Amino acid sequence: MAAKKVLIVYAHQSSSSFNAAAKNAAVEVLSAQGCTVEVSDLYAMSFKATATAEDIKGDLKDAENFCYLDESKLAWEQGKLSEDIRKEQSKLTEADLVIFQFPMYWFSVPGIMKGWLDRVLTNGFAFSQEKPYGLETFKDKKAMLSFTTGSLESMFSPTGINGDMNVTLWPLQNGILHYCGFQVLAPQIFWAPALAAAEDRQNMLESWRTRLQGLLEEKPLSFTPLDCFDENTFQLKPDVHEKHASEEFGLTVGIHLNKPLPPHNQMKAGC
């Protein structure tokens, strides 16, 4: 395997946390394979989480009617984004693999990581409004979520009180990573380590270490191809809809055609 560059975007306040241990394991195992691993430790960096006019250096195009989407795109084009954003975008540009390591907060990422996503994945650099899901800047890059939950796995099942984890993951994996053109690897989920025995926590980390050995060769999750949608309306083409009408499951979590969700479609490749 050719040497790869890995970026870990890490969000936890404590160096003795399970998330820190998972992050450290990734650094150790991937480095041993010859990868160059860089960590953006968001709390240690005191990373600014709010997307504001302060992110643009120099004059704004329309200060009175400030629009972050437009102003950040223009600033990116002109090289006028704030230095912290430019540094993270540079790391992202060089990376072959991006791992987001975090504790799940309110069925999503911590606020500081959401701020990283809001500010670093700027319009033009990471996505195109004119061609949603179609910008090819990151098409050769892989990205994945690695996170801990506060609830047991059974609580995130189709019959559990939290609902199907596939639905929880859809906004993050499809609405952010796939939208920006990444090849999305199946997530690494550490189910409620705070509730687990020490031996079970160690087994979780060993399973992660084992997976990391072949992580860069894994196949990504499958999403409905862009050419299945009308390029003007972004609706499923009638022939595609008709083709899947007789199948047992729908296409994805987002477009399931009023059918049962494909099992594990956001959690395992090849489903």
pLDDT tens digits for range 70-129: 999 999 999 999 999 999 999 999 999 999 999 999 999 999 999 999 999 999 999 998
| pLDDT at 269 > cutoff 90 | no
Same domain, 146 and 226: no
pLDDT tens digits for range 227-241: 999 988 999 999 999
Same domain, 197 and 234: no
Same domain, 19 and 36: yes
Residue 152 CA to residue 162 CA, distance in Å, equals 10
pTM equals 0.95
Q: What is the CA radius of gyration of the chain?
A: 19
* Share above pLDDT 70 across residues of the chain, in percent, rounded to a whole number: 99
- Of residues 130 and 19, the one with the higher pLDDT is 19
Same domain, 17 and 133: yes
Same domain, 216 and 237: no
Residue 239 domain boundaries: 222-271
CATH number at residue 23: 3.40.50.360
Total domains, the chain:
2
Choose the final residue of a domain: 198, 221, 244.
221
Same domain, 104 and 201: yes
pLDDT tens digits for range 130-184: 888 988 899 999 999 999 999 999 999 999 999 999 999 999 999 999 999 999 9
Same domain, 86 and 188: yes
The DSSP annotation for 21-85 comes to: HHHHHHHHHHHHTT-EEEEEETTTTT------GGGB-S--S-STT--HHHHHHHHHHHT-B-HHH
